[in-house]
Structure 1
């Protein structure tokens, strides 16, 4: 057998959302650079959106026809990554963001059949033997598919360890009356292994709902039953950021903290992952003083209410701080072409630029950026820390409420935008000024610098994330050799 055929071969399937695809792409590159052969499977919908963002949309049904391969550049550099696509069970042009429940229902009930077919075809191909399936933890089927085809199952968790452990210990939350009960307790949660204390308001949005019967709850329940059968769990966090939580999880499962999973060089990537055309605001930023501009973005998926968006807009105006605002076309509704207040853009002059999408890490790393008004997506938080930019937190959905707790209470690298249900323009303006002021904002700037250092150290040759990734590679290769030895012996 040729040396090339002895490479460990991993199939990687990311959850079909922007915030999950990005770290999965970077994990694929990381594995391939360490000698793995990788087959990366995107959904046809994600593939189609990527093509559209690049201006390469075609008239077909969205299936991969070989005309565009997101890994072509890195393969040209010698990395062994193959690329293919499959259906998620819905038409390619179906609006998944605005029809969230139907999208999630398809991922819950239909997607696994497509996965089985595609994985089965890859496993049956002559030549290279497939060794492991690396799939997002939120999928409900990985352990079953891996078992069917004799593969090791590696679960990839793209959020902080704190969120993982809350879902992992749903039984404790139920037993203690903090979840899925008529009148849930409101006192702090202090019985989760590795979690000192947590207010119920800091749990994920799905754990705060009084009637946990939605399709997303079903996904969470099934996914975290399934993950208990995982052979390995990779987490996009840093041990030093969540030491007690990570240690407690490592005592239960082969759990490896390998974050932050960034592209080489951070601000650039040879792989196209953006689902929208990216605007370049570098020239405008170049005209602004260092640390003077607030970057505003609410991520790739969640929606703002029109009332909140209007108050935030007025608050930005009142603050008199320069800003870049990434405003997705569908941030409120796909039918609302311009949800901003009348005359808002005209009154700003040159103190702001509003764009539909951008390469976020490139903007955050620009010297002019001094703060980030964010929905608290985990990728956004890691990128902001890496760039030394403090955060103003306005969570909208899912893990973002727990992420805010880490940012504001644990690491003290940012502020809550609002502690009340109603957002007011006056409070928005006040918090922006506090974060961006050289005097009042210095505590956050200094704190984020200290946390950034932990991320940098974790990725050094002797850092915790490097060591965990090296240990994972050693452990999985050992398991692969054991399985091959048993297979050859049979």
Structure 2
């Protein structure tokens, strides 16, 4: 990246929601800020900092606060609302105290006072607390622009009567209430929270997701990990609702340097890359449903039988907590027995390395935004089986807009798995579309590309905000009034 020379006083606190995909994405963002010459404090939860291998550097440090949940809490997808509520009501108190102390800076550690906060957009309290303390704050969303626009359009969907759904309604009915998507969006493609909202006015989850999306308009700017070549139309429809919008992705492809350490909450099995070395070009199906997806034993069995029937070698990421209460060792044995020498199972994989490996022919994925971007950059065809939230609309874009893969949502049947995997592996049209999109995205992140230009503009924006913040921070009475609250 050809970045501006940032003022030494610019010091950004980066605060992701404490779940794996959000941390990974925002660490790539932190890496970009470091490359631009800024100081960065990366805020983990205590629980996650214990799991992550986090090593500080001269302009990067890791700090943590409690998330407010008991140590034994599973923090899994089934209780994600509990985590969000605890962050808002309990962690926010510790966050406020930490921010107030960081207004003083750390002369011994070489860190100036924090002058800007970039907080995960699904934690609106983090933006509000920073602004209350006089620190300018930006909202960063780790999901796609198309899903953000869908959440932002919820009032319009309700006004048109396209929400709520009724039992027995046709999920393939077109949806007209999301601007720019009238020609291809269906009910089944809306974010998963839309499916269970029989009473939208009293649906806490729907109110939460709309609330933090609309709240991003209060932040100094909205930052999105996306590229203009992928989501130009959605970005144009979002912009009038925000104070400013920066499309700066895919972040993992923006810099040749490795991301700042301290992100992965799972130990990657590098041995799978050596296994891929022994496979023929474009012969392997890579299967990973992300860090949160949970499937039943019956669904596992359908996936397994479908993969075996497809007839290709496969590399499958099976987290220990992924298949109900089943034992991971039993699942590995089942895969080994079914796939014989053609299968490899790991608990976690170095995904970017896997996707760029010559042996990988397609990616069976949950269509999480990080995974979607990583496949897009490498030009790998996808078969999408979305699990929840934004994955539903991401998979529709893969199958119906970019045409870089197939959308398998709402189906878990061995025959369908086998058919779609074969098509993704063998279709010249899908592969050509995937490679064409990869070329466009790579232009966006190259020198002179739209994402690189936007990242430079963002750094300049943060430096300008920081200059104003530094002037206020130099007022000792101003700082003391917050440190002593």
Q: TM-score, normalised by structure 2?
A: 0.88
Q: Which residue of 2 is the match for residue 200 of structure 1? A: 187
Answering whether residue 122 of structure 2 is matched by residue 142 of structure 1, we say: no
Q: Which is further off, 449-458 or 241-250?
A: 241-250
CA drift of 1:142 comes to: 2.5
Q: Which is further off, 310-319 or 118-127?
A: 118-127
Which of the pair has the greater relative contact order for Cα pairs under 8 Å at 6+ separation?
2
Q: CA deviation digits over 1:189-242, x for unaligned, max 9?
A: 334344444222111101222335565434313312432211011100101211
Q: Which residue of 2 is the match for residue 33 of structure 1? A: 35
1:447–1:242 Cα change, 3 Å: same
Structure 2, unpaired ranges of 5+ = 479-485
Q: What are the within-5 Å matches in structure 2 for residues 331-346 of structure 1? A: 331-334=322-325, 336-338=327-329, 340=331, 343-346=334-337
Aligned length in residues: 460
Aligned counterparts of 1:222 and 1:210: Cα–Cα separation in 2: 15
Q: CA deviation digits over 1:154-181, x for unaligned, max 9?
A: 1111111111112223222222222347
Q: Which residue of 1 is the match for residue 456 of structure 2? A: 470
Q: CA deviation digits over 1:365-417, x for unaligned, max 9?
A: 11100100001111001111112210011011111100001111000000123
Q: Which residue of 2 is the match for residue 62 of structure 1? A: none
Q: Which residue of 2 is the match for residue 104 of structure 1? A: 84
Aligned counterparts of 1:314 and 1:193: Cα–Cα separation in 2: 40
Alignment partner of 2:37: what SS?
coil
CA drift of 1:429 comes to: 1.1
Aligned counterparts of 1:112 and 1:237: Cα–Cα separation in 2: 28
Answering whether residue 230 of structure 2 is matched by residue 251 of structure 1, we say: no
- Contact map agreement 2:384 2:395 (CA 8 A) in 1: yes
Aligned counterparts of 1:182 and 1:422: Cα–Cα separation in 2: 20
1:20–1:288 Cα change, 3 Å: same
Structure 1, unpaired ranges of 5+ = 52-69
Alignment partner of 1:284: what SS?
helix
Q: CA deviation digits over 1:418-450, x for unaligned, max 9?
A: 5xx45221121111112112xxx2111111111
Q: CA deviation digits over 1:329-369, x for unaligned, max 9?
A: 11122454456498542242211101111111111111100
- Contact map agreement 2:127 2:139 (CA 8 A) in 1: no
Q: Which residue of 2 is the match for residue 378 of structure 1? A: 369
Aligned counterparts of 2:26 and 2:279: Cα–Cα separation in 1: 34
Aligned counterparts of 1:182 and 1:91: Cα–Cα separation in 2: 38
**Cα RMSD after superposing both structures:** 2.6
Q: Which is further off, 305-314 or 264-273?
A: 264-273
Alignment partner of 2:357: what SS?
coil
Answering whether residue 450 of structure 2 is matched by residue 450 of structure 1, we say: no
Q: Which residue of 2 is the match for residue 390 of structure 1? A: 381
Aligned counterparts of 1:396 and 1:339: Cα–Cα separation in 2: 23
Q: CA deviation digits over 1:1-60, x for unaligned, max 9?
A: xx9984211111011111100111111111121121111110111112225xxxxxxxxx
Aligned counterparts of 1:467 and 1:267: Cα–Cα separation in 2: 18
- Contact map agreement 1:390 1:435 (CA 8 A) in 2: yes
**Structure with greater helix share of residues:** 2
- Contact map agreement 1:45 1:93 (CA 8 A) in 2: no
Aligned equivalent of 2:60, options 81, 92, 97 = 81
Alignment partner of 1:110: what SS?
helix
CA drift of 1:103 comes to: 2.4
Q: Which residue of 2 is the match for residue 133 of structure 1? A: 117
Answering whether residue 115 of structure 2 is matched by residue 115 of structure 1, we say: no
